[in-house]
Amino acid sequence: MAGRLQDTVALVTGASSGIGAATARALAVEGAAVALLGRRRERLEELADELSAEARVAYVAEADITDQRQAAAAVEDVVSQLGRLDTVVNNAGTMGVGPVEDSPLDEWERMIEINVRGLLYVTHAAVPHLLRAAEDSPRKVADLVNISSTAGRVARPGTAVYNLTKFGVNGFTEALRQEVMRKRVRVSVVEPGTVDTELSSHLRAGAREAVERQVEGLELLRPEDIADAVAYIVTRDRRVAVNEILVRAAEQTW
């Protein structure tokens, strides 16, 4: 039985682990040819091999999306190799936490580079292809899904710049949605709560322990839970637009 995304192409950023890898798997199961975009080629190739062993189509697109030229070239490469682009999932992101007064500036810059600029660069390159896909695909619709966070809805002490980036993602998503919705390009945002991924492992000492204390005792979400939300959005009939999904761990209050 053909999947609901048969004969379409999906691009997932940050596909080497966590939510990105889980989302790539979910879209491949639905029949999409999946382009895996990220910086860790070895991890991307492992996932591509896994999907290929399951008779799925996967293409590795290694790039640093914080470099505008690399981001644009990666999108064009995917379209050249796979023929089209129907779905984009902007998942790549990073998190830094700690009080503003003693946070290192390079941590702030990294969040802005990946969470904001990288997302913008990929989106800018992808939108023309998504507009074309909405016109000529059998589904007559295309999708752009931005992975934000509960931090895009709730500001808390110690996450000011992360909040800034994710509030920005939410605002950008809504404005773009209104720009392209009549052309049947759906733009959606998914806001995960606490997910068991590598995200917190990249935190500096002290900050990592603070996050671990905050989530201690919680049953964390799994990457597959967020991938399910993305798959739900992009497999709806063209008459349906799911603009926003907030997914919290069951006991999470923020």
Residues with catalytic roles:
162
Residues ≥6 apart with Cβ < 8 Å to 43? 16, 17, 21
DSSP H or E segment with residue 234? helix 223-234
- Farthest-apart Cα atoms in the chain, separation: 56
Using only C-alpha atoms, the chain has a radius of gyration, in whole angstroms, of: 17
Q: What is the DSSP string of 78-144?
A: HHHHHS---EEEE-------S-GGG--HHHHHHHIIIIIIIHHHHHHHHHHHHHHHHHHSTT--EEE
Phi, psi of 8 (to 5 degrees): -120, 165
